[in-house]
Chains A and B, each alone.
Chain A
Amino acid sequence: ENKHEEKVQDPDREKDKPKADMGSKTWADLAGEMKIFLWNPEERTCLGRTAKSWGLILLFYFIFYTCLAGMFAFCLYVMLLTLSPYTPRFRDRVSPPGVMIRPYLNGFTIAFNVSHPSTWQPYVDSMQHFLAAYDDKVQEEKNIECVPGQYFIQGGKDSEEKKACQFKRSLLQNCSGIEDPTFGYSRGQPCILLKMNRIIGYRPGAGVPVSVDCKVQKGNESHLRSVDFYPGNGTFDLMYYPYYGKFTHVNYTSPLVAMHFTDVQKNYLVPIQCSLNGKGIINDLNSDRFLGRIIFTLSIGK
């Protein structure tokens, strides 16, 4: 009945002859034991188990893991059922918004020589590529014109397709690449586009458009003498918000602010920080240097 009693009655144990000390085993003995362990021809066991025993144990684990995998899948399925496909349950980790710039090639240093087009051409190509989606024609085709100065709130069901506001690249004026296809790079007055990260349902600025400003980050302030902002003095118009998510807000194009660095010290590495300003925007978090601001370096050679 009881295992312990069984042990007591087990007569074999008395007869166990003491083996040689553990320590005095030679390598040859060990190798021999290993071989027996790997394949014991007498008892026809491999790794201490017979074929039947292996079969049983493998079958057990197969069933065990199948059930476990089933339970895992079921739990995930139930969890996913509770989620809305259009809006994530929590958005506390993704807001307030982060900031990115274009052109972005490899790193946050934009360095070129005006006299060597090959040094700035990649930036220009990147900008052109990025702005293709903002072509006036494309925007007019896909998106609607909205009322500036107020949030474009769309009611209806979550699953309903949402309309997106037009953001035409012509709004970027000197930085639109329409008049100057080199975005000022050929003149040493580069344009850099700044975009705010998309957050579903987020209404930046709480009624007042978020604006952008730039300054020299740690260094001689006089190195950055003038920056032009487009559109509208560097603000993100309220009408582009809120964002409704990629499934319903299919044609949404992030609004941009173009920064035209018209007078930057040449032949210097000028570190520049451009920040968002507005209610609810955080731009001074030490640990996150992309939250509400962005730091990049301009190095413009002659």
Chain B
Amino acid sequence: GLSSARAAEILARDGPNALTPPKATPEIVKFLRQMIGGFSILLWIGAGFSWISFGIQLAQGTDSAFDNLYLGVVLALVVILTGIFAYYQEAKSTNIMASFSKMIPQQALVLRDAEKKELPADQLVVGDIVEIKGGDRIPADIRLIFTQGCKVDNSSLTGESEPQSRSCDFTHENPLETRNIAFYSTTCVEGTATGIVINTGDRTIIGRIASLASGVGNEKTPIAIEIEHFVWLVAGVAVSIGVLFFIISVSMRYRILDSIIFLIGIIVANVPEGLLATVTVSLSLTAKRMAKKNCLVKNLEAVETLGSTSIICSDKTGTLTQNRMTVAHLWFDNQIYSADTSEDQTTQPFDQSSPSWTALSKIVTLCNRAEFRPGQENLPIMKRVVVGDASETALLKFSEVILGDVMSIRAQNKKVAEIPFNSTNKFQLSIHETADPHDKRFLLVMKGAPERILERCSTIMINGKEEPLDSEKAEAFQTAYMELGGMGERVLGFCHLYLPENEFPETFQFDTDSMNFPTSNLCFVGLLSMIDPPRSTVPDAVSKCRSAGIKVIMVTGDHPITAKAIAKSVGIISATSETVEDIAKRLNIPVEQVNRREATAAVVNGMELKDMSSEQLDSILREHAEIVFARTSPQQKLIIVEGCQRQGAVVAVTGDGVNDSPALKKADIGIAMGIAGSDAAKNAADMVLLDDNFASIVTGVEEGRLIFDNLKKTIAYTLTKNIAELCPFLIYIIASIPMPIGTITILFIDLGTDIIPSVALAYEKAESDIMNRRPRNKRKDRLVNHQLAVYSYLQIGIMQSVGAFVTYFTVYAEQGFLPSTLLGVRVHWESAASNDFEDSYGQQWTYYQRMYLQWTGYTAFFVSITIQQVADLIIRKTRRNSIFQQGLFRNKVIWVGIFSQIGIAAILTYGLGHVTALNFTPLRFQYWFVAVPFAILIWVYDEIRKLLIRRYPGSWWDKNMYY
């Protein structure tokens, strides 16, 4: 081995043997991005204007100058707090992920200074000699110099699920194909090996793939695009109204300084300060709900992406299937029987009365080397851990389910000789004593490739009787074998022979090398076929996807026949649809003559895919509704994903291997498997399926669609009151009435009373079966469409403003200022020197008395908006259905929202009513009810709107009023 000194030298040169983590954006940059993103920039402008006007007023010596300073500070605080909140949310969701990448420090057994040493794997350098045994992770790329029955599982790298044997022989030019190289991060399944490290860290094959993955750009999520669109919309409205009224106020001969202050108010009123935080909370609530359903979402925005997914490219093994071989069919007595393949089988329903079955079950039980790990007697059979390969495990569990304690049966039928399976014989054989003490014969049992087994047989067992194997029976065998093979199942043949007692007495010594016993003229008993069966929940999930307009594409490394069989059994290829090949077979014409458009399904082989141009791939993706890609390498997954995205689809991709990570990253939403998935895959993915189950994706889709609908409702709810906040400013400017609502008060609505209700809408149940409609069209179905904006702004928003103004005028009138007096009164009203200001009744007011009245007006306006927002909240529960269809009390959180809203308003009004800086005053109780008629009006109006939409779908009303 290397000397420690030399190793240290190389370590210094090459760096540690670890993958460089993907370059993370510095935290401070992330934080600052939150500070200027979204509406923040508008609020910063508002704060800036506040400080400018503070400066000017201070220089002029105006008393109220400090109000503007405080306002600026408050605005800045709002931006910083919402920024911190968003940053915290983002950090929290990335932290879930960080836990994945923290791996247990790996140890490696290294020869250094002529001594075997345990070293952390990251200390390995090129030239080190390492030893590996079954179960170890390969610590670096190594060239093997000594192996003993070594097999490696390369699935994380190449996607091949079968363990590959490894030897010292150089067998291929391609490092991925050659036998004498084992790769970093793959695992050694069995055997031992010694090798020389040839690559470390990022220079390993896996390191190169990882850097390839980080090179694939992350696409913007659909919801991010939607929110950006919405921010632009609202900011556009804010800026244009702001500028328009700036011009109006300047031309109305207001001072520039006043106009700037109005501008601040208009911006603050227009910007829904709390909304982005609300959206984040709603998304994280959904993410939590999804995590409970085994979908762990790393990136919050991915929650919705799943909802807009239109194509799912799914793995087969483990995702659609149970990832374990299970006996699916049996053939004996010239008949095919089906076995139960569900996850939690406890009995097998097929007919077990035939004596042939007794014979077959004996062979299955005895000719099997697999054993249960001890100490699992209490576990269900299907969950027990077995030592042995996949088919033997399947057979062991199968016989355990039917016969009970297999180990004791084996003990009763003591094994005297055995030839294990090898690839030249293609059979496995063992010789047993019989359980019957009076029967001194030995039983020879054999299983293997059916055609090889049949070759060795001269008879066949039918209903317990040995009958000669004539051509008719051989034909029947062939038919059955073809049928089972055609279902993509792995078929094994079973035969036996009772050795005659006279030739093989009890003391006979069997020699497996010289084979001093017959291996031909045996009695054929039956066939068993196995498959990795689909998960029981998958067919239902696939049909749900179909009704939800989502195309499910299977991408697998498996054989096309198996892939097709599984696809058919889970419904990815539906029962009635045919591939081009099927049509050709049915019509008995060559494949080339088939009209490709008639075939709804397609099974594409990886080899064909390799030679395809992207146009050809596009046409396949377009023309066929049901597609299976078989024999594909994980690299080809990326090509398929890109093809789907060219169709304008939102693509979800599942994957578990390291090689899947580019595809996972490229996909709109990458879904990694939580159990089988490699860390690299989990890193590249946006979501992790904790149970590796395809059906969980469907629940995720449902949640994603629901949150999209609910975000619409949240935004509609939040936008509405912006008009009620904006109108006061506009009317104040135009009609010169005392200011109806203060900027600070607006912030208390946006960030106080409205927050919990708008989050509560995220808990709203779906209005109709959201899984029965198509995925939304990215370009057409916007989160905030113009109907939503117009309905919220110009209809409900205006109603709210009117209701709030009625309260405002009531408060002033009952104190002595009739509406007619208020018009045009602004300059005199706001003059601090005017302390004997006359009201409509001849009473005289000091400046402070007027201001206090003005704050009462603010509070009344605030309370009115709050009361009407309760109505707004209730109407936003549904967009189409009547509230009574949806149920007023099904979403309890809404009521929490309503009570919190009123509670917060009451606390602000009565609790903080004496803090003058907040501009709240204790309000007379009756003023809470002035806006109630308008709240009822809002509700009735919206019910009428919904009624007309339901009554006249597609009408003018529907087109203009449905958001």
Q: Chain A residues in contact with chain B, CB under 8 A?
A: 1-8, 10, 13, 16-19, 22, 56-57, 60-61, 64-65, 68, 71-72, 75-76, 79-80, 83, 86-91, 93-94, 97-100, 104, 106-108, 195, 197-200, 243, 245-247, 249, 252, 285, 287-291, 294
Q: Which residues of A contact B492 (CB under 8 A)?
A: none
Q: How far is the CA of A200 from the CA of B292 in the complex (A)?
A: 67
- Chain B interface residue count, CB cutoff 8 Å, equals 57
Q: How far is the CA of A125 from the CA of B426 in the complex (A)?
A: 126
B849 within 8 A of A: yes
Q: Given known contacts A87-B841, A294-B835, what 20 new A-B pairs fall within 8 Å (CB)?
A: A2-B953, A3-B954, A5-B772, A13-B780, A18-B647, A22-B225, A60-B960, A68-B798, A68-B799, A72-B802, A76-B806, A83-B813, A90-B816, A90-B924, A97-B844, A98-B846, A197-B836, A199-B844, A288-B848, A288-B849
Once the chains bind, are B774 and A290 in contact (CB under 8 Å)? no
B743 within 8 A of A: no
Q: Known interface pairs A75-B933, A76-B806, A100-B836. Does A197 touch B845 (Cβ–Cβ under 8 Å)?
A: yes
Once the chains bind, are A246 and B841 in contact (CB under 8 Å)? yes
Partner of A93, one of B648, B806, B856: B856
Once the chains bind, are B819 and A94 in contact (CB under 8 Å)? no
Q: How far is the CA of A16 from the CA of B774 in the complex (A)?
A: 14
Once the chains bind, are A291 and B880 in contact (CB under 8 Å)? no
Once the chains bind, are A3 and B813 in contact (CB under 8 Å)? no
Chain B positions 808-830 with a Cβ under 8 Å from a chain A Cβ: 809-810, 813-816, 818-819
Can you list 27 pairs linking A and B with CB atoms under 8 Å apart? Answer: A4-B768, A4-B772, A7-B773, A7-B774, A18-B647, A75-B806, A76-B809, A80-B813, A80-B818, A86-B841, A87-B841, A88-B843, A91-B843, A93-B852, A93-B853, A94-B815, A94-B844, A98-B849, A99-B835, A197-B835, A200-B841, A243-B842, A245-B843, A247-B841, A252-B842, A288-B848, A291-B848
Q: Which residues of A contact B777 (CB under 8 A)?
A: 13, 16
B916 within 8 A of A: yes
Q: How far is the CA of A247 from the CA of B816 in the complex (A)?
A: 13
Once the chains bind, are B953 and A90 in contact (CB under 8 Å)? no
Residue of A nearest to B790 (CB): A57
* Shortest Cβ distance from residue B697 to the other chain A in the assembled complex, whole angstroms: 20
Q: Which residues of A contact B773 (CB under 8 A)?
A: 4-5, 7-8
Once the chains bind, are B839 and A88 in contact (CB under 8 Å)? yes
Q: Which residues of B contact A199 (CB under 8 A)?
A: 843-844
Q: Which residues of B contact A18 (CB under 8 A)?
A: 646-648
Interface 1/0 per residue, B783-809 and A, CB below 8 Å: 000000000001100110010011001
Q: How far is the CA of A80 from the CA of B821 in the complex (A)?
A: 13
Q: Which residues of B contact A4 (CB under 8 A)?
A: 768-769, 772-773
Residue of B nearest to A16 (CB): B648
- Which 4 interchain pairs have the tightest Cβ spacing? A246-B842, A98-B846, A288-B848, A18-B648
Residue of A nearest to B810 (CB): A79
* Shortest Cβ distance from residue A289 to the other chain B in the assembled complex, whole angstroms: 8
Q: Which residues of B contact A287 (CB under 8 A)?
A: 848, 916
Q: Which residues of B contact A57 (CB under 8 A)?
A: 960
Chain B positions 827-865 with a Cβ under 8 Å from a chain A Cβ: 833, 835-836, 838-849, 852-853, 856
Q: Which residues of B contact A108 (CB under 8 A)?
A: 833
Partner of A290, one of B794, B835, B958: B835
Q: Known interface pairs A13-B777, A68-B799, A246-B842. Does A98 touch B805 (Cβ–Cβ under 8 Å)?
A: no
B504 within 8 A of A: no
Q: Which residues of A contact B846 (CB under 8 A)?
A: 98, 197, 288, 290-291
Q: How far is the CA of A170 from the CA of B822 in the complex (A)?
A: 37
Q: Which residues of A contact B191 (CB under 8 A)?
A: none
Q: How far is the CA of A3 from the CA of B842 in the complex (A)?
A: 61
Q: How far is the CA of A247 from the CA of B799 in the complex (A)?
A: 35
Partner of B844, one of A61, A64, A98, A285: A98
* Shortest Cβ distance from residue B924 to the other chain A in the assembled complex, whole angstroms: 8
Once the chains bind, are B845 and A98 in contact (CB under 8 Å)? yes
Q: How far is the CA of A288 from the CA of B799 in the complex (A)?
A: 37
Q: How far is the CA of A246 from the CA of B816 in the complex (A)?
A: 12
Q: Which residues of A contact B937 (CB under 8 A)?
A: 71
Chain B positions 631-669 with a Cβ under 8 Å from a chain A Cβ: 646-648
Once the chains bind, are B843 and A198 in contact (CB under 8 Å)? yes
Partner of B953, one of A3, A61, A252: A3
Q: How far is the CA of A285 from the CA of B844 in the complex (A)?
A: 18
Chain B positions 927-963 with a Cβ under 8 Å from a chain A Cβ: 933, 937, 953-954, 956, 958, 960, 962
B549 within 8 A of A: yes
Partner of B815, one of A10, A88, A104, A198: A88
B779 within 8 A of A: yes
Once the chains bind, are A200 and B815 in contact (CB under 8 Å)? no
* Shortest Cβ distance from residue A4 to the other chain B in the assembled complex, whole angstroms: 4
Q: Which residues of A contact B953 (CB under 8 A)?
A: 1-3, 6
Q: How far is the CA of A198 from the CA of B780 in the complex (A)?
A: 64
Q: How far is the CA of A1 from the CA of B958 in the complex (A)?
A: 12
* Shortest Cβ distance from residue A52 to the other chain B in the assembled complex, whole angstroms: 10
Once the chains bind, are B816 and A94 in contact (CB under 8 Å)? yes
* Shortest Cβ distance from residue B392 to the other chain A in the assembled complex, whole angstroms: 48
Once the chains bind, are B816 and A91 in contact (CB under 8 Å)? yes
Once the chains bind, are B774 and A71 in contact (CB under 8 Å)? no
Q: Which residues of A contact B225 (CB under 8 A)?
A: 22
Q: How far is the CA of A107 from the CA of B842 in the complex (A)?
A: 23
Residue of B nearest to A107 (CB): B833
Residue of A nearest to B842 (CB): A246
Q: How far is the CA of A17 from the CA of B809 in the complex (A)?
A: 56
Q: Which residues of B contact A91 (CB under 8 A)?
A: 815-816, 843
* Shortest Cβ distance from residue B783 to the other chain A in the assembled complex, whole angstroms: 15
Once the chains bind, are A93 and B772 in contact (CB under 8 Å)? no
Once the chains bind, are A72 and B805 in contact (CB under 8 Å)? yes
Q: Which residues of B contact A104 (CB under 8 A)?
A: 833
Chain B positions 684-707 with a Cβ under 8 Å from a chain A Cβ: none
Residue of A nearest to B772 (CB): A4
Q: Known interface pairs A83-B813, A88-B815. Does A93 touch B841 (Cβ–Cβ under 8 Å)?
A: no
Which of B819, B833, B880, B958 counts the most A-chain CB atoms under 10 A from its CB?
B833
Q: Which residues of A contact B813 (CB under 8 A)?
A: 79-80, 83
Once the chains bind, are A197 and B841 in contact (CB under 8 Å)? no
Q: How far is the CA of A267 from the CA of B768 in the complex (A)?
A: 85
Residue of A nearest to B798 (CB): A68
Q: Which residues of A contact B838 (CB under 8 A)?
A: 246
Q: Known interface pairs A3-B880, A195-B836, A249-B842. Does A79 touch B798 (Cβ–Cβ under 8 Å)?
A: no
Once the chains bind, are A94 and B843 in contact (CB under 8 Å)? yes
* Shortest Cβ distance from residue B886 to the other chain A in the assembled complex, whole angstroms: 16
Residue of B nearest to A57 (CB): B960
Residue of B nearest to A23 (CB): B220
Once the chains bind, are A198 and B848 in contact (CB under 8 Å)? no
Q: Which residues of B contact A65 (CB under 8 A)?
A: 798
Q: How far is the CA of A13 from the CA of B781 in the complex (A)?
A: 11
Residue of B nearest to A79 (CB): B810
Once the chains bind, are A13 and B774 in contact (CB under 8 Å)? yes
Q: Which residues of A contact B924 (CB under 8 A)?
A: 90
Once the chains bind, are A100 and B841 in contact (CB under 8 Å)? no
Q: How far is the CA of A10 from the CA of B779 in the complex (A)?
A: 16
Once the chains bind, are A8 and B849 in contact (CB under 8 Å)? no
Once the chains bind, are A200 and B842 in contact (CB under 8 Å)? yes
Q: How far is the CA of A10 from the CA of B954 in the complex (A)?
A: 13
Q: Known interface pairs A64-B795, A93-B815, A94-B816. Does A8 touch B848 (Cβ–Cβ under 8 Å)?
A: no
Q: How far is the CA of A266 from the CA of B156 in the complex (A)?
A: 98
Q: How far is the CA of A87 from the CA of B549 in the complex (A)?
A: 69
Q: How far is the CA of A35 from the CA of B459 in the complex (A)?
A: 86
* Shortest Cβ distance from residue A56 to the other chain B in the assembled complex, whole angstroms: 6
Interface 1/0 per residue, B594-615 and A, CB below 8 Å: 0000000000000000000000
* Shortest Cβ distance from residue A280 to the other chain B in the assembled complex, whole angstroms: 16
Once the chains bind, are B806 and A72 in contact (CB under 8 Å)? yes
* Shortest Cβ distance from residue A200 to the other chain B in the assembled complex, whole angstroms: 6
Q: Which residues of B contact A100 (CB under 8 A)?
A: 835-836, 844
Q: How far is the CA of A252 from the CA of B838 in the complex (A)?
A: 14
* Shortest Cβ distance from residue A204 to the other chain B in the assembled complex, whole angstroms: 13
Residue of B nearest to A106 (CB): B833
